[in-house]
Amino acid sequence: MPRHANPTLSVIVPARNEARNLEIVLPYLPPQAEIVLVDGHSSDDTVDVVRRLRPDAVILTQTRRGKGNALACGFAAASGDVIVMFDADGSADPHEIPAFVAALVEGADVAKGTRFARGTEAEAGSEDITLLRSLGNAGLNGLANIALGTRYSDLCYGYNAFWRDVLGVLDLPALDLAVPADRMVWGDGFEIETLLTCRFSLAGLKIAEVASVERERIHGESNLRTFADGFRVLRTLGRECAPRARRRPARRVAAMATAARTAIVPLALVPAPTEVVVPSGPARPVAADRPLAA
């Protein structure tokens, strides 16, 4: 897949009972993007809302449970040059999508969102993270940097984008893998962000951090379990950074990524990436009239 300065986008939106949030969020997603809604067996009107507001969307039902499995289903269905991971609860600001795409067009394989950016003019932060989660993320982030030899500022953030041609790095669990209902396959849960970071890093891909503001969830409660999911993240670091795991994707994928980078059209020969357009409109009616960042 050749890379160019005006890539097509696939926005992957995993959602379970997020109808009220999607009513607000969907109109702000780029109109020309392919929207892939992966439904987690919702009991509300999640699917109907998407069909009404984005009749062009690709709608799937995830094959098991967990955010990781939902994203894997969306990745498999995506057809765009660039894949954007986007939460349905209103925490991800759609106006930031152009910044992620710009980082990719400028040469990165992966654009990794960070709430803790330093030394940048772009705004970063979180309206949602608790002190406990912030401390846990800082500790896990430090362990990841030691294990991976990296200098990331934010490990457990789910707003990321990458070129679709690097999907081979991920080697996620097969979508048709059958498991008992009371079990969760490794990689199917909230550890997915850490797993992606580890596999992208160990494959030698170029990863650029993009400053991002995590917004407060608009309606409903998060499915995140601080201690249980934090432990899964810790186990992920141990499993992914073990010597045997390190050897798995690196040689094959590094060669693939190098070949892909040579296919990029020189930026000097094409217009700046202005095609990623977010429709203007009134601020979303969030609690306390919190405006959507411009």
Mean pLDDT of the chain: 80
Condensed to tens digits (0 to 9), the pLDDT of residues 163-196 reads 999 999 999 999 999 888 888 888 898 889 889 9
Most confident of the ranges 77-86, 192-201, 284-293: 77-86
* Per-residue pLDDT reduced to its tens digit, 37-82: 999 999 999 999 999 999 999 999 999 999 999 999 999 999 999 9
Which residue has better confidence, 26 or 239?
Answer: 26
pLDDT for 125 equals 76
The pair phi, psi for residue 239, each rounded to 5°, is: -75, -45
117, 153 contact by CB (below 8 A) = yes
Give the 3-state DSSP-derived string for 70-102, with helices as H, strands as E and coil as C.
HHHHHHHHCCCCEEEECCCCCCCCHHHHHHHHH
Q: 279 or 24: which carries more pLDDT confidence?
A: 24
Range in 42-56, 121-135, 157-171, 206-220 with the lowest mean pLDDT: 121-135
Q: Is the pLDDT of residue 153 over 70?
A: yes
Instruction: Give the C-alpha separation, 84 to 7, whole Å.
Output: 12
| Domain spanning 9-289, CATH architecture | Alpha-Beta Complex (3.90)
What integer is the mean pLDDT of 223-232? 60
Q: Tell me the domain boundaries of the chain.
A: 9-289
96-121 mean pLDDT: 91
Give the per-residue pLDDT at 248.
52
pLDDT of 220 over the 70 cut: yes
**pLDDT reading at 106 higher than 80:** yes
Looking at residue 164, what is its pLDDT? 98
pLDDT at position 183: 86
Alpha-carbon Rg for the chain, nearest whole angstrom, is 18
pLDDT score, position 128: 66
> How crowded is the C-beta side of 207, counted as CA atoms within 13 Å?
24
What does the alpha-carbon distance between residue 76 and residue 46 come to, in Å, rounded to a whole number? Answer: 21
Q: Can you give the pLDDT at residue 67? A: 94
User: What is the rounded distance in angstroms from the CA atom of residue 90 to the CA atom of residue 215?
Assistant: 7
Q: Does residue 259 surpass a pLDDT of 60?
A: no
User: What's residue 94's pLDDT?
Assistant: 96
Under the banding of pLDDT at 50, 70 and 90, the label for residue 282 is very low
Query: Greater confidence, 257 or 81?
Result: 81
Q: What's the pLDDT at 151?
A: 87
Q: Kindly tell me if the per-residue pLDDT of 266 is higher than 50.
A: no
Q: What is the largest CA-CA distance in the chain?
A: 54
Examine the pLDDT at 115 and tell me if it is beyond 50: yes
Q: Which of 39-43, 210-214, 226-230 has the lowest mean pLDDT?
A: 226-230
Token representation of residue 121: 């003019």
Residue 95: which of 244, 284, 232, 225 has the closest Cα? 284
Grade residue 138 by pLDDT with cuts at 50, 70 and 90.
confident
